[in-house]
Amino acid sequence: MSRVRWLWVLIAGTFLMAGPSAVSAAQFDKVIEGRQQLMKDIGQAGKGLRSATAPASVAASADELAEALAKINADTFPKGSADGSRAKPEIWEQWDEFAAKAKNAVTLAQDIAAKARAGESTAELVKSFGKNACGSCHRPFRKPKQKS
């Protein structure tokens, strides 16, 4: 091997040793910021759904919600990304349960969209959506708001 190559091996080795922990902590910061923004968008879409009256707008808001809620997954909640966020460690201890809550929320939003398109009443579903879709996951899996 040439001396230049050895130098590269040395440099690469130094980078590897610099620590995966520092790298992953920074990665989590970004992912946490991203998913908190996702939740804020979901909150906005939820408001849109509650204030919609025409069936077409109800359906459109519900579609938007379903799409956003489908992003609650292992990409937005990578294992262990709890520190500095309101995500409880239980999320990863009971991942199937957490994933089921996310899926349930998507299904509920899709139901509302389908009913609105079919001309059926959605008022009751919309009313209970916050509790059934959002609250049912927040209660077990979200820490209370930090007082700052």
Q: From residue 84 to residue 123, what is the string marking binding to ligand HEC with x (rule CB under 6 A)?
A: -xxx----------x--xx--x------------------
Among 89, 72, 78, CA closest to 140 = 89
Burial of residue 105 (CB within 10 Å: 0-12, 13-18, 19+) is buried
Q: Is the dihedral of CA 81, 87, 89, 93 positive or negative?
A: negative
35 binds ligand HEC (CB under 6 A): yes
Query: Among residues 15 and 96, whose Cβ is nearest to ligand HEC?
Result: 96
125 binds ligand HEC (CB under 6 A): no
Cα angle 97, 137, 46 (rounded to 5 degrees) comes to 135
Binding site for ligand HEC (CB under 6 A): 32, 35-36, 39-40, 42-43, 46, 65, 69, 72, 85-87, 98, 101-102, 105, 133-134, 137-138, 141-142
